[in-house]
Structure 1
Amino acid sequence: MKALWTPIKLGGFTLPHRLAMAPMTRSRARADGTPSDLAALYYAQRASMGLLITEGTQPSDDGQGYMATPGIYTDDHVEKWRKVATAVNDAGGHLFIQLMHVGRRSHPDNTPRHRQPVAPSAIPAGEEMFTAAGMQTVPTPRALTTDEVAQTVKDFVHAAKCAMDAGADGVEIHGANGYLVHQFLAPDANQRTDRYGGAMENRARFALDVTRAVADAIGADRTAIRLSPGVPTGGIAEGDQNDDLYRYLASELNGIGLAYLHILSIGNEALLGDIRRNFDGVLILNRPGRPRDQIGNDIDAGLADIEALGVMALANPDLPYRLKTGAALNDARKDLFYAGGGAEGYTDYPALPRDRPSGTIFCRK
């Protein structure tokens, strides 16, 4: 675990250790997509994580899927995110805004223009989504035209530029978890017959087009992407049939000079090893539910350079200190992950007073 506490260079800055805060949707933004007034405090409280990857943030009106998620494509969005970025930087952390276009995982009631969701193909996700009227079935999406795909790439670029205007240190393109980029990658969500469908290279094209365009616009050292090979979600069930595509993607992404590649993994160690060999830049690995006693193992094994932690960081604003000293952890209140717009379950998790013995327990039940 010793390597966990060594510094690492990422893009244009150096992180004090090998932990990062994983992106986590909190559903606390205002109706216009601006972050809540508490967002700056929430992220700044966790600045000791070094690298903070924000909740999924839509790059356009049509990119929104869930209620109360933030955007980063208007002047008002930029103004609010600037307060977040400034607070995090002032507290010693670095902020990457995750750009998340949900594609078909959307309901018109949750979006500003109440339009039909868009996707690579007109194939429904087959799931329900919470709306103001309660749980509703996600409708069949409309397939993007080839020209609209190109415009969506431009939407990502615009959002990335807005993130830079807001003072973010970089952006992470969300290419995982069954959202739009992942939908283009997956054979069971992408049945296109143009240059974005069919062969492996074609299905990977959208992810690479977005990544290269964003890197060209804001700098490769401020650009990253998150992938989730084989993770079944949002109606996508790749299994291991798409493994060669991810090997190809890792090799292609390696030539861009990204700040990092972020992998969400639930197994398939052979593929992880191949991705590591094909990508020689900074690789972040997120294993959901990673036990405390296994934190640092992937770094020690050479499989990852940084490990991303989610729920632990959500519930413990001083997580690196607690892990390093062996202090007890706060319990996460799962019923408040997405509830309401106030401080409860958001900014009220206590940190350990630093003048107390490290073993003192301050657990919220």
Structure 2
Amino acid sequence: MEPIPLLTPYKMGQFDLAHRVVMAPLTRQRSYGNVPQSHAAVYYSQRATAGGLLIAEATGVSDTAQGYNDTPGIWTAEHVEAWKPIVAAVHQKGALFFCQIWHCGRVSTFELQPGGTAPLSSTEKGVGPQMSFDGRLEEFAPPRRLTVEEIPAIVDDFRKAARNAIDAGFDGVEIHGANGYIIEQFLKDSANDRIDEYGGSLENRCRFALEVVDAVVKESGAEAAGGEAFKGTFIANGGYDREEGGKVVTEGYTDLVAFGRLFLANPDLPKRFEVGAELNKYDRMTFYTSDPVVGYTDYPFLE
């Protein structure tokens, strides 16, 4: 019988993975007051398997990093202590656990910022309204452009967050550099209208991202930061299923495949892939609610 491509082992730097089914970082908005909760230990450990890789939901690097209610942070000692039992629960299952660190930049509101101040960004240009999961239009506050002198402090927030993640027991960190958040606000010329050393040319627009990477690597080490760990390794994600995921692995397009909604709704996703079982259907209306059980830890297992 031919092996299932997604369930073959893979060596990722110093880490030996038993299979290639990765849990993608998924915002769930159940960290009340930005503090990770005990129900997250249940949620993540349900999805942990020996030799598997999980990436935690996007986690704020500072009090200015927040863009949505009740997303977790990792900038205080309280956050670190709250993460420790969650990480331990994943490790108890024999899985690896990486922390994704982020800063939302201009994708935020006055209410979510310390002292009701304007969100920080590469620009003063605001981001337009976005449709929420339940059909509401979400409005964001006009941002304040960071001065050149202020940028090193934001870079240092990423560094400290990486250190805190390692102190909390995470095996490594992933820097969130996409989806219109602060790093991409510097990278993209549609958002970055600066005329200093952080804007204009491609080299200048990449400067902030590269400074963040350098700071994180120096603090946590290249392997923990995904430098050596991901050297030569590619993780594909976005709409894959068992068949398509297996195909891109077989064809050499990717090494690992990250699953979001499928893993959210199927805590035993690798097992279901193994036996070819039917998948639970996800309930989009519970993706971002605050309930610690419904749509979070109550999706059924095969057995």
Map 1:268-283 → 2, pairs under 5 A: 281-283=232-234
For 2:258 and 2:236, how far apart are their aligned partners in 1?
Answer: 6
Map 1:258-297 → 2, pairs under 5 A: 258-260=228-230, 281-287=232-238, 289-297=239-247
For 2:16 and 2:91, how far apart are their aligned partners in 1?
Answer: 13
SS at match of 1:52: strand
- Whether the 8 Å contact between 2:87 and 2:97 is mirrored in structure 1 is yes
Q: Report what 1:306 is aligned to.
A: 256
Question: What CA deviation, in whole Å up to 9, does each residue of 1:80-108 have, x standing for no partner?
Answer: 11111100000111111110100000012
> For residue 285 of structure 1, what is the amino acid of its counterpart?
A
Q: Report what 2:46 is aligned to.
A: 45
The offset of 1:115, in angstroms, is 1.8
Q: Report what 1:206 is aligned to.
A: 208
For 2:297 and 2:288, how far apart are their aligned partners in 1?
Answer: 13
The offset of 1:152, in angstroms, is 0.6
Please state if 1:196 is matched with 2:198.
yes
Please state if 1:346 is matched with 2:296.
yes
> For residue 159 of structure 2, what is the amino acid of its counterpart?
V
SS at match of 1:146: coil
Question: What CA deviation, in whole Å up to 9, does each residue of 1:296-345 have, x standing for no partner?
Answer: 22211212111100000000110000011101111111111111232111
The offset of 1:113, in angstroms, is 3.4
- Whether the 8 Å contact between 2:7 and 2:270 is mirrored in structure 1 is no
- Whether the 8 Å contact between 1:129 and 1:137 is mirrored in structure 2 is no
For 1:11 and 1:41, how far apart are their aligned partners in 2?
Answer: 28
> For residue 259 of structure 1, what is the amino acid of its counterpart?
A
For 1:129 and 1:143, how far apart are their aligned partners in 2?
Answer: 25
The offset of 1:4, in angstroms, is 2.1
For 2:242 and 2:128, how far apart are their aligned partners in 1?
Answer: 35
Task: Say which structure, 1 or 2, has more relative contact order (CA 8 Å, 6+ apart).
Answer: 2
- Whether the 8 Å contact between 1:106 and 1:129 is mirrored in structure 2 is no
Please state if 1:144 is matched with 2:146.
yes
Q: 1:30 to 1:166 in 2, by over 3 A?
A: same
- Whether the 8 Å contact between 2:216 and 2:225 is mirrored in structure 1 is yes
What CA RMSD, in Å, does the superposition of the two structures yield over aligned residues? 1.6
For 1:342 and 1:202, how far apart are their aligned partners in 2?
Answer: 43
Q: Report what 1:247 is aligned to.
A: none
Match of 1:24 among 23, 26, 30: 26
Tell me the TM-score normalised to structure 2 length.
0.94
For 2:138 and 2:276, how far apart are their aligned partners in 1?
Answer: 44
The offset of 1:139, in angstroms, is 1.7
- Whether the 8 Å contact between 1:129 and 1:138 is mirrored in structure 2 is no
Q: What is the aligned-residue identity percentage?
A: 46
Uncovered stretches (5+) of structure 2, i.e. residues with no partner: none
SS at match of 1:167: coil
- Whether the 8 Å contact between 2:100 and 2:174 is mirrored in structure 1 is yes
- Whether the 8 Å contact between 1:59 and 1:71 is mirrored in structure 2 is yes
For 1:259 and 1:208, how far apart are their aligned partners in 2?
Answer: 18
Uncovered stretches (5+) of structure 1, i.e. residues with no partner: 225-256, 261-279, 354-365
| Number of residue-to-residue matches in the alignment | 297
For 1:216 and 1:342, how far apart are their aligned partners in 2?
Answer: 36
Q: Report what 1:177 is aligned to.
A: 179
SS at match of 2:179: coil
> For residue 207 of structure 1, what is the amino acid of its counterpart?
A
Q: Report what 2:122 is aligned to.
A: 120
> For residue 235 of structure 2, what is the amino acid of its counterpart?
I
- Whether the 8 Å contact between 2:38 and 2:86 is mirrored in structure 1 is no
For 2:298 and 2:5, how far apart are their aligned partners in 1?
Answer: 31
For 2:102 and 2:96, how far apart are their aligned partners in 1?
Answer: 19
Match of 1:64 among 56, 63, 66: 66
Q: Which runs of 4+ in 1 moved over 4 A?
A: none
Q: Which stretch of the first structure deviates more once superposed, 106-115 or 143-152?
A: 106-115
- Whether the 8 Å contact between 1:11 and 1:222 is mirrored in structure 2 is no
Tell me the TM-score normalised to structure 1 length.
0.78
Question: What CA deviation, in whole Å up to 9, does each residue of 1:197-223 have, x standing for no partner?
Answer: 111111111111111110111011011
Q: 1:86 to 1:76 in 2, by over 3 A?
A: same
For 2:151 and 2:5, how far apart are their aligned partners in 1?
Answer: 42
